[in-house]
Structure 1
Amino acid sequence: MSQKKSRGGGVGAAAGDDPDELSRSPLQAVLLADSFTLKFRPITLERPKVLLPLVNVPMIEYTLSWLESAGVEEVFVFCCAHALQVKEHLEKAGWTGKSTAREMAVTAVESHDAVSAGDALRVMYGRGVIHGDFVLISGDTISNMDLKDALQEHKDRRKKDPLAVMTMIIKYSKPSTLTHQTRLGNDEIVMAVDPETKELLYYEDRADSSQLYVTIDKDILASNPTLQLRNNMEDCYIDICSPEVLSLFTDNFDYQHLRRHFVKGLLVDDIMGYKIYTHEICSSYAARIDNFRSYDTVSKDIIQRWTYPMVPDVLSFGNCQEIKLHRQGIYKASDVTLLHSAQIGANSVVGNATSIGENCEISNSVIGEGCNIGKNVLIHGSYIWDNAIIEDGCKVSNSLVCDGVHLRSGAIVEPGCILSFKVEVGKNVVVPAYSKVALLPQPSNEDSDEELEYADTNSGVTDSPRYPPFSSMRSADHPTVLSEDDDLEASETGACGVVGYIWASADTGILEEWRQSIAPIPKDKLEELHHAASVVDDDESEDDLNNHPAVLDQDDDSDVSAVEEDDYSKFEKEVEETFQRALDGIHQDNLILEINALRCKLFSNLLDVFQYY
């Protein structure tokens, strides 16, 4: 039997006469098509995140194309919210279906019960389709790295130590000293790694930007003579996993989030002894689109060709029209209508069948397919998706405009705005900075835990979604500023105001809006953050040093009691949640596994308490 050779000499290349390689299972991957977060709302109420255009190409196309080029032979795409849309795209793009001629087999796995990554992996375990080491990745991840070295390291470690169940891909990324975030808008990550073995010893994402210190268990310091404590690494969310990872999620139903629950759970589990290792990439590219800022950053990286060969002019991604690269990083389709006086600035992309009128200025922006842009329009640092209509004299700055949006003449979209599908902005209306506008009203009860994804039980979007009558605001001949406090009146056309609902800001506050927005954080706000950080540092550093758990006097009985009470409270909460799931109808076999796991945790907690005496 001849073996299939992967492109680029990847891990699926012919193995020669090695009997271990000849008998190996094909390299598999589990791709999570649900992000299990709410950060891309209101857009993701109507379309799954993995199908949102990234430089005019659905995100999932980058992920699947990379997996294929890296030698992965079989991919299982797990989809829950808007599953029908995902499945239809996979078939239309030629990844699935009888007519596909792909080297990589792609299978959609659908479930409407999963509300977390942990649930998704438990479903995959129940299907029994994973037979060896596999790549775990989300469909919003862009990479051009070669998996060969990382996969070989993982296999070599597994031969020596079966408890090495995961290898995490990481790369250098210096965080901001003011906002405690990376250039992707993610929270700063602190990790401790053994410099020789690359074993991960500690992992913490600093969601609270005011947190000045991290707490590391003294046992980690005692058992590891040397370790690297780093806050300049980016988690790429590409993991090479052993099959045991799926069973661990099945044994522990409190594992929901991949990092916050699973990774941290394994790092503190002294009984089973499972280990996680890291693989640092240097010259390759890998990034996950977690929020609107990372959407903007990765888009610019693609345009500037850091993701090569995952760039528009090299991989067509099924586009029928050729995209050509011109000077200064300008990409244009062959059938763009561009009047002579219009100017396309550096690092911009213009899609198929788009027309651009006289005296327009477009810079650092991506324009989708079938857009109609009038005269004297200014677009800077923005993303205009397919079939948008932007009339004469409009201005759009550092914002995202979705499919079918209509901006009437003189409308101004200020930085940081999100205009969801088919929103209409009336003549001379000003949309204030950081506004989110959608035809669908904002849900009254959004899940406060962003790790539990809004799972839409409807597999698709109907042609006539249910929502109250459109709302608009009156406009005069002079520009009208739209705000959440304005009275909105019903309108059939919205010609004088805005057709859509203005969403209230998230409970996380304006700081989070700045940190995760497409728009750069204003300079005056950065100065405010710097001043606030200095005040907090001066006022609290002494108290934190005196009271920080890492320097508490262990002879103090009150400290020991606090530790005991905290551990017992956590254990008591887990028991309560287990019995609640039992009442909700969890399968008997799964319930038995979870109770056994709780017994192990109780024993571990008792050992932790005894060590204080």
Structure 2
Amino acid sequence: MLAQQAVLLVGGLSNKLFPLTSPSTPKALLNVGNQPLISFPVKLLEEGGIKDIFLICPGESIASKIHTWTKSYSGHAHLEVRCVPEDKDSADALRSVVPELKGKAFILISGDLVGDVSVKAISISHFINSALITAVLVPRRLSPASTTKPGKAPKNVDYVGLDPKHRQLLFFKSSPESRQDVLRLPPNAVQTLGQLEIRTDFTDVHLYIFDRQTVTELLDHRPQMTSIKQDLVPYMVNHQRRLQQLLSPLQPAGSLSPVQSAKDSTTISDSLPPAPNLLAHPVMGVDAVLSGSIPSIPCHAYMAAKDCYCARANNLHAYADVNREVVASVHADRLLDAKLNAKHGNYVHEGVQLGSKTTVASACMVGRGSSLGDKCSVKRSVLGANCRLGGNVKIINSVLMDGVIVDDGCHVQNSIVCNGAHLQERCSLKDTAVGPDYVVTEGSEHREATLAKSRLASF
């Protein structure tokens, strides 16, 4: 039976997305392609046949806002909003809902994931391989956050160990903040297959299918696990060989009585390190043996198809990229609830007012109620609802959120401008982020800047 439940980690305020997020607009409600970010993972799960989705929110304020958003949701999945303390990390958030999960497996997904990868295909692959975990991997995008000098290890990347066929995940370590000079590999991973590729050109996009009982046991017996990506996933991947070696002597499954199985399970548990471990609870060993469901590929690497789109809007650079990419024609039909203007290849709402000699290039989006003055030019950009552009304004490779005012003669390139901001006449922005309701003074020039009223707390 395929997974029918999912846990969606909503997220809240983020330093990586400063100054975009605010108490009134948490990350999940930032617009991507002029629709709330949270709508993308919800739609992905619904299309994959998921019937129940737990939306885990940090703090009551964000939970209240997400609950309000669910009232406008018209899909078929059942959405249930859950609140956890703001200082809890992802594994603790998962602990809050694990007792209510049912079935053999469940899906966990990040609330900032935008994509059209097939959840149903991932789920089928998970069960075919009898996996304890299936992690979705996509080719890593080059970004300033991972760039280093020649000869130096990349930063902010995932170190992924794969078998030669790229089906089994044999090693996993993430380096979100600092460069890793030394990697310690589990010997069993190399000894078992003889070959192990350590790759940094793949990214774990925080979309997993977990064996429910395995995760329940680990979270229950290892309270020191606080992060799913930093603690839970690496532990499962890097200990899988020991698990198989300990279970294999007990086969064939049908040859043991329940009493014998319980006794052997206790022996197995005692043979592991003193810290709580995967078989710390005897019942887990009994069920695995009696059912004959010993994993053939315990940690499965699911490689997203090349024609799929899958990316996380989890920092400023990624947020800007995802906005521009989702309106590109190759992905938009699958990702957006918008109607393409076939003549111009763009998404300009029918109520938008365009001035004389104003052009909106292909792969651009302009939201409802917006108006553009004379001689404006918009290229590779997304404009939200109720934006107002004066005359001779140029917008290139940028995102303007709802209600932005841009006066005459302004130039905006590679920038993000948040809700209600006002760019006065002849402003020039390049590689700049402007916070909500911020006023950029007349004639000013800004390069690689962050303009905001105040820095907000992060989740």
TMscore range, shorter length: 0.7 to 0.9
Q: Which residue number in structure 2 is paired with residue 112 of structure 1?
A: 85
Aligned to 1:146: 118
Number of the residue aligned with 1:399: 415
Shift of residue 372, structure 1, vs aligned partner: 0.9
Counterpart among 224, 233, 237 of residue 263 in structure 1 = 233
Unaligned runs of at least 5 residues, structure 2: 243-271, 280-297
| Secondary structure of the corresponding residue to residue 71 of structure 1 | coil
1: CA distance, partners of 2:117 / 2:155: 21
Give RMSD over aligned pairs. Answer: 2.7
Structure 2: distance between partners of 1:273 and 1:36:
34
The separation in 2 between residues aligned to 1:367 and 1:27, in whole angstroms, is: 36
2:326 matched to which residue of 1? 302
- Tell me if 1:253 matches 2:223: yes
Q: Match of 1:508?
A: none
Is residue 365–residue 382 contact of structure 1 (8 Å, CA) maintained in 2?
Answer: yes
Shift of the alpha carbon at 1:344?
1.6
Structure 1 residue 232 and structure 2 residue 201: aligned? yes
Whether 1:125 aligns to 2:98 is yes
Match of 1:94 among 55, 64, 73: 73
Question: How many angstroms apart in 2 are the aligned matches of 1:292 and 1:44?
Answer: 11
Establish whether residue 221 from structure 1 lines up as the match of residue 221 from structure 2: no
Task: Quote the Cα distance in structure 1 between the aligned partners of 2:41 and 2:372.
Answer: 31
1:134 maps to amino acid? F
Are residue 179 (structure 1) and residue 147 (structure 2) matched?
yes
SS at match of 1:290: coil
Q: Which runs of 5+ in 1 are unaligned?
A: 1-20, 96-101, 159-163, 317-322, 447-453, 456-613
CA contact (8 A) 1:43 1:421 kept: yes
Shift of 1:211: 5.0
Distance 1:260 1:209, change over 3 A: closer
The one-letter amino acid paired with 1:138 is S
Give yes or no for contact 1:30–1:76 (8 Å, CA) kept in 2.
Answer: yes
1:434 Cα deviation from its structure 2 partner: 2.4
Match of 2:261 in 1: none
- Percent of aligned pairs sharing the same letter: 22
- Shift of the 215–36 alpha-carbon distance from structure 1 to 2, 3 Å rule, reads farther
**One-letter code aligned to 1:54:** V
Counterpart among 132, 156, 171 of residue 202 in structure 1: 171
**CA 1:240/1:392 → structure 2, altered by over 3 Å: closer, same or farther?**
same
CA pair 225-36 structure 1, distance change in 2 beyond 3 A: farther
| Superposed displacement of residue 37, structure 1 | 4.6
How far the C-alpha of 1:213 sits from its partner, in A, is: 6.0
Q: 2:212 aligns with which of 238, 243, 247?
A: 243
Q: What's the offset of the Cα at 1:38? A: 2.4
Quote how far apart the aligned CAs of 1:226 are: 2.5
The equivalent residue for 2:35 is: 57
Shift in Å, 1:58? 0.7
- Output the amino acid matched with 1:434: E
Q: Give the letter for the 1:31 counterpart.
A: L
Residue 311 (structure 2) aligned to one of 276, 287, 298: 287
| 1:358 equivalenced with 2:374 (yes/no) | yes
- Contact 1:374–1:390, Cα closer than 8 Å, also in 2: yes
Matched position secondary structure for 1:236? strand
Q: Which has the larger radius of gyration?
A: 1
> How many residues were matched structurally?
396
Which moved further from structure 2: 129-138 or 202-211? 202-211
- Seen in structure 2, the aligned counterparts of structure 1 residues 53 and 229 have a Cα distance that, compared at 3 Å, is same
Task: Kindly indicate whether residue 307 of structure 2 is the aligned counterpart of residue 340 of structure 1.
Answer: no
Q: Assess, with a 3 A threshold, how the Cα gap between structure 1 residues 268 and 173 changes in structure 2: closer, same or farther.
A: closer
Greater relative contact order (Cα 8 A, min sep 6): structure 1 or 2?
2
Q: Structure 1: how far apart are the matches of 2:190 and 2:373?
A: 65
Change (3 A) 1:36 1:349: closer
User: Alpha-carbon deviation of 1:176?
Assistant: 7.1
Counterpart for residue 300 of structure 2: 277
2:180 and 2:224 mapped to 1: Cα distance? 26
Q: Letter of the aligned partner of 1:422 in structure 2? A: D
Q: The residue matched to 2:132 in structure 1 has which SS? A: strand
Of 371, 392, 396, which residue of structure 2 is paired with 1:380? 396
| Per-residue deviation, 1:45 | 3.0
**Structural mapping, 1:465-476, within 5 Å:** none
Which residue matches 2:292? none
CA distance in 1, matches of 2:166, 2:176: 28
Contact 1:400 1:419 in 2 (8 A): yes
Is the CA contact 1:175–1:232 (under 8 Å) kept in the aligned structure 2?
Answer: no
- How many Å separate the matches in 1 of 2:166 and 2:440? 57
Match of 1:437 in 2: 451
In the TM superposition, what whole-angstrom CA distance separates every residue of 1:335-354 from its partner, at most 9, and x where no partner exists? 01001211222321111111
Contact 1:169 1:236 in 2 (8 A): yes
Q: Which residue of 2 aligns with 1:11?
A: none
1:215 offset after TM fit, Å? Answer: 3.9
